[in-house]
Structure 1
Amino acid sequence: MHDLRRQALESGKTVSRKARSRMASGASSRAGSAVNSPGASRAASRNASRANSDDEEYLSDETNWSTNSINGVLNGNGDDAEVPADAWKTELNTRIEQIVNLKRSTTEGRAESLNAFAHILMLRYARDQIENRMSELLPSILRSIRQETTLHETICALKALCVVIVTLDSDDIYDKVADVLRRTISDSELSAIKVGAIHALSTAAFFGGTSEEEMEDIMSFFLEIVESDGLAVGAHDEASVVTAALQGWGLLATEIEDMEEATENAIEAFVDQLESADAGVQIAAGENIALLYEKSYTPLEADEDVDEADLDSEDEDQPNHGDRMVRRYTVWRRQDQLLHTLDELATIHGRGISKKDKKSLHSSFSDIRNSVEKPTRGPRYSTALDQETGRAYGGGRIKFKVNRNVEVRIDKWWKLQRLDALRRVLQGGVPQHHSENDVVSRCLPFSVAGKH
């Protein structure tokens, strides 16, 4: 077992308890609830930076290439008076023509056009500009995904598809893209493409008009990936693939009202992944656990008679403490063991852990443990007392600023899951879309700055 753990740490891949059991068949089971130290973080991993609201952090390397060539056009209404304010529309139309005109395009040319197209859509709400071109655009984007001519073109096409889905607010786009994306997840030989397709499928399911039944089916698909450590889609112990599946599952779970059955099916897999050798996998699994605990509580209904033990005991500390919250079901029967594991992750140390991973684990799992113990506490809940009111500051210390007067208080795990998903798709364009795109503002309701 020690050798297997050492190999996992050296490889940087995720190896959960179930995987180690399969690899070491016949070995004795682990004693207690010891947590494996995570190994070096994946280079391609992007752990959620839950305390930082700076959207520039989410601009990826693949998008940054275009800042010099395109941002001047996008910022035409700024200092450069020589660039017309609507020049970005002309540039967008040029990129659309390049994407749909396959006969005159090269592989690298298509990748560049897809990347520029996605970058413009991230930073400008352009539904009116693309809606009447979708009969040409969508087949071309899907062709680039399906053919996998190069890694670069396929990744750019997947990113373009995600931002198109969020921009369009279409009730039928899921049906048009789901089969291609599921085949890509299962059949592609490249982990990076699987990751992009997983995020695209979860984006399509959440924003693209799917039914709750179909959404639950996709969640089951993602759960198979997690339970098998990626083996279900030919990516055994690929941390990036498992992380993407965890994140996709978490996003879709925010949309399901009654999570009792889904919780019973998923919680063991998430607890197992807390022992992964990869910090990104551990954090994504932990945030899903916190979400499940949060969703196990719902408001007390009028004239409802419940056991006092099932009532939230900290309502007086909440800004909306008049709404009593009631535990509807048990998330995990061995909660003491889970809290012990979360304590270890929140204070983990060791030479084999990078400073960045250690900081992420400490910050994330302090919040996750807090929510497992008290599920009405959201991320970054503070028990410190406000000197003016005498109450705990509570949640909402993470604030996503849309503009000077509008902000979103990320005081719930479901909000954090959605914000992270939007940032994966729109990167630095989330504020612009939140101001103009109803899909995004419905996804993350706002509050007036300075008010709860």
Structure 2
Amino acid sequence: MHDLRRQALESGKTVSRKARSRNASAPSSKANSAVNSRANSRANSRNPSRHGSDDEEGFLSDGTAWSTNSIDDILNNEDVDLPPDAWKAELHAIIEQIVDRKRSSTEGRADSLNIYVHILMAKYARDEIENRTTEILPAILRSIKAETSERETVTALRALAVTIVTLDSDDIYDSVCDLLKRTVSDSEFIQTKISAIHTLGTATFFGGASEEEAEDIMAFLLEVVESDGLSVDAHDQGGIVVAALEEWGLLATEVEDMEEASEAAMEAFVDQLQSSDSSVQIAAGENIALLYEKSYTPLEEDEELSEGEDSEDEEYIKDGGRMVKRYTVYRRQDQLVHTLEELANISTRKISKKDRKTLHSSFTDILNSVEKPTRGPKYSTALNDETGRLYGGGRMKVRINRNVEVRIDKWWKLQRLNALRRVLKGGFAAQYDENEAVSRTLPFTVSRG
């Protein structure tokens, strides 16, 4: 899996020439300072945004795979003579700096946490950090709780999220939940609140929360959406609402029966379709599509359709299965369809050309799924000239290596992919091969081409 290990999307360099020239087993703090400085400079050269960094980080598109850069280049620069596991010594040194708070400054801790995040995104390091968990987690949590600076806190939240995905432990949620919720509610920084919401979703999904605890977090997030952020002292902050919508969607993919929760959620999401922020509109629309998708389940072997009950589209019949509508997601569907049609064809010059294009693409898919809930994102209604059938779903793919690809033909898959990308960035493909927490979250298909 050499090719797989080399796949990554981040292009930030994390090891300086001086750091690479020293003994890999005994990195000096001076060299690591240079490492941190270069990594931080590169990492902070991009302004984070929901859509702006997607192309930059290799966001998937119809029929395309992730772009590839060398993880070795990221971690070892261009020195090919450096041992391939030199990153382990680097990680060990960084962990020592994170744990030893007495000898660190606020900026120094932020630098160390930043390089720690980049290594864990690019390399599967469970064996390297598992026996240091009792030191690493308290140190990260102290940086979050102290909130000495926005940069240190946000970086610590990212470090916590990637640590949770790396460890794949059921024992983390209980120790971090209360702190993360307080950070969302009480932090004075908007970006800290946003990062805390995302980390809370990651901890709930990957950290061992019970079904009841997950539902409590979903209720907390829904309140943020319903109040336009007011419930966490961030009124009319679009980034806060987007984060809450995204993490609610992630957690909803794990809930088997959404019938009872759909009514309140749909009211909140439909209301957010009127937002002036296109990112809020799209995140709400994707959750709407997910809820419609979840309202259909497979026909059981001993189950018969009632007379006049809708059968499913031919894509599913062709695959040997039929889907049945179990409940009504939204009672005012005609009004919803009208709103979605307007967004799919929006032409106002009050928003940028790029946002209009994104809205058109997103809401065409969302509208399609509301009208036909078994049709996932990028479902094509064009006819195949050879077979006479619809092309159907499966045009959105993430290629992992020559033989493995993840086909994003369901909204729940898209929600989970986006969540993993938020945590792992360009390391997603590399992690997919080794990290079970990643691979079991998204099933793969064997490529025959």
Quote the offset at 1:389 in angstroms: 2.3
Q: Is the 8 A contact 2:66 2:398 kept in 1?
A: no
Q: In the alignment, which residue of structure 1 is the partner of 2:199?
A: 200
C-alpha contact (below 8 Å) 1:44/1:240 kept by paired residues: no
**Structure 2 unmatched ranges of 5 or more:** 1-46
CA distance in 2, matches of 1:405, 1:308: 44
Match of 1:26 in 2: none
Residue pair 1:319, 1:394 contacting (<8 A) in 2 also: no
The Cα offsets for residues 113-133 of structure 1, whole Å up to 9 and x where unpaired, read as: 000000000010000000000
Contact 2:250–2:415 (8 Å) recurs in 1 = yes
Give the 3-state SS of the residue equivalent to 2:382 in structure 1.
strand
Superposed counterparts of 1:45-56, under 5 Å: 45-47=49-51, 51=61
Tell whether the 8 Å contact from 1:311 to 1:324 is kept in structure 2 after alignment.
no
The equivalent residue for 2:149 is 150
Q: What amino acid is the match of 2:244?
A: A
Aligned to 2:81: 82
How big is the shift at 1:171? 0.6
User: For this pair of structures, how many residues does the alignment match?
Assistant: 396
Determine if contact 1:96/1:117 at 8 Å carries over to the other structure: yes
Q: Does residue 1:417 correspond to 2:415, yes or no? A: yes
In the TM superposition, residue 404 of structure 1 has moved relative to its aligned partner by: 1.2
CA distance in 2, matches of 1:279, 1:312: 35
Post-superposition shift, 1:189?
A: 1.3
Against the structure 1 CA distance between its residues 356 and 247, is the aligned structure 2 distance closer, same or farther, given a 3 Å change threshold?
Answer: same
Q: Provide the rounded CA distance (Å) in 2 between the counterparts of 1:182 and 1:209.
A: 16
User: In the superposition, relative to structure 1, how do residues 253 and 175 fare at CA in structure 2: closer, same or farther (>3 Å)?
Assistant: same
Match of 1:19 in 2: none
Q: Retained in 1: the 8 A contact 2:60–2:66?
A: no
Partner residue of 1:427? 425
- Structure 1 alignment gaps of length 5 or more: 1-42, 60-66
Match in the other structure for 1:288: 287
Cα distance, 1:293–1:310 mapped onto 2, change above 3 Å: farther
Cα deviation code 1:48-107 (max 9, x no counterpart)? 7663666569x9xxxxxxx9xx9646257xx63321111110111111000000011111
Per mean C-alpha deviation after superposition, the further-off stretch among 296-305 and 101-110 is 296-305
Cα distance in 1 for residues equivalent to 2:337 and 2:438: 34
Change (3 A) 1:282 1:73: closer
- Contact kept, 8 Å, 1:297 with 1:328, in 2: the verdict is yes
Match of 2:126 in 1: 127
User: CA 1:56–1:238 in 2, change beyond 3 Å: closer, same or farther?
Assistant: farther
Match of 1:449 in 2: 447
Name the residue aligned to 2:345.
347
- Shift in alpha-carbon separation, 1:427–1:56, aligned structure 2, 3 A: farther
Measure the CA separation in 2 of the matches of 1:118 and 1:96.
11
Alignment correspondent of 1:306:
305
Write the mapping of 1:7-406 to structure 2, written as runs, cut at 5 A.
44-47=48-51, 51=61, 72=73, 74-75=75-76, 80-314=79-313, 316-318=314-316, 320-406=318-404
Q: 1:73 to 1:293 in 2, by over 3 A?
A: closer
Tell me the distance in 1 between the aligned counterparts of 2:187 and 2:205.
23
Aligned residue type for 1:74: L
1:408–1:446 CA contact under 8 A, matched in 2: yes
TM-score (norm 1): 0.84
Aligned mates of 2:72, 2:193 — CA distance in 1: 29
Pairwise CA distance, 1:380: 0.1
Measured after TM superposition, the shift of residue 305 of structure 1 is 3.1
Q: By how many angstroms is 1:307 displaced?
A: 2.9
Q: Is the 8 A contact 1:158 1:200 kept in 2?
A: yes
Partner secondary structure for residue 440 of structure 2: helix
For 1:410, give the aligned amino acid.
Answer: I
The 2-side partners of 1:427 and 1:309 are apart by 47
Cα deviations by residue, 1:366-400 (Å, 9 ceiling, x for unpaired): 00000000000000000112223221111110001
The aligned amino acid for 2:49 is S
- C-alpha separation in 2, matches of 1:193 and 1:312: 47
TM-score normalised per structure 2:
0.85
Paired residue type of 2:297: T
Structure 1 residues 305, 202: closer, same or farther in 2, change over 3 A?
same
Contact 2:312 2:324 in 1 (8 A): no
Partners of 1:381 and 1:269 lie apart in 2 by 26
Give the superposition deviation at 1:431.
0.5
Q: Which residue of 1 aligns with 2:7?
A: none
In 1: Cα distance, 2:289 partner to 2:151 partner: 35
Tell me, yes or no, if the aligned pair for 1:267 and 1:289 is still in contact at 8 Å: yes
Secondary structure class of the residue paired with 2:274: coil
The aligned amino acid for 1:114 is L
The question of whether the paired residues in 2 share the 8 Å contact of 1:73 and 1:88 is answered with no
Secondary structure at 2:297's aligned position in 1?
Answer: strand
Taking structure 1 as reference, are residues 357 and 54 closer, same or farther at Cα in structure 2, changes over 3 Å only?
Answer: farther
User: In the alignment, is the contact (CA less than 8 A) between 1:181 and 1:197 conserved in 2?
Assistant: yes
What's the CA shift for 1:321? 3.5
Alignment partner of 1:443: what SS?
coil
Shift of 1:260: 0.5
On the 8 A contact 2:405/2:446 being kept in 1, the answer is yes
RMSD over aligned CA atoms reads 2.0
Give the counterpart letter for 2:330 in structure 1.
W
1:31 aligned residue: none
Paired AA for residue 376 in structure 1: T
Distance 1:290 1:50 in 2: 19
Task: Report what 2:25 is aligned to.
Answer: none
Contact 2:246–2:283 (CA<8 Å) still a contact in 1?
yes
Residue 75 of structure 2 aligns with an amino acid whose one-letter code is L
Matched residue of 1:384: which SS?
strand
Retained in 1: the 8 A contact 2:66–2:399?
Answer: no
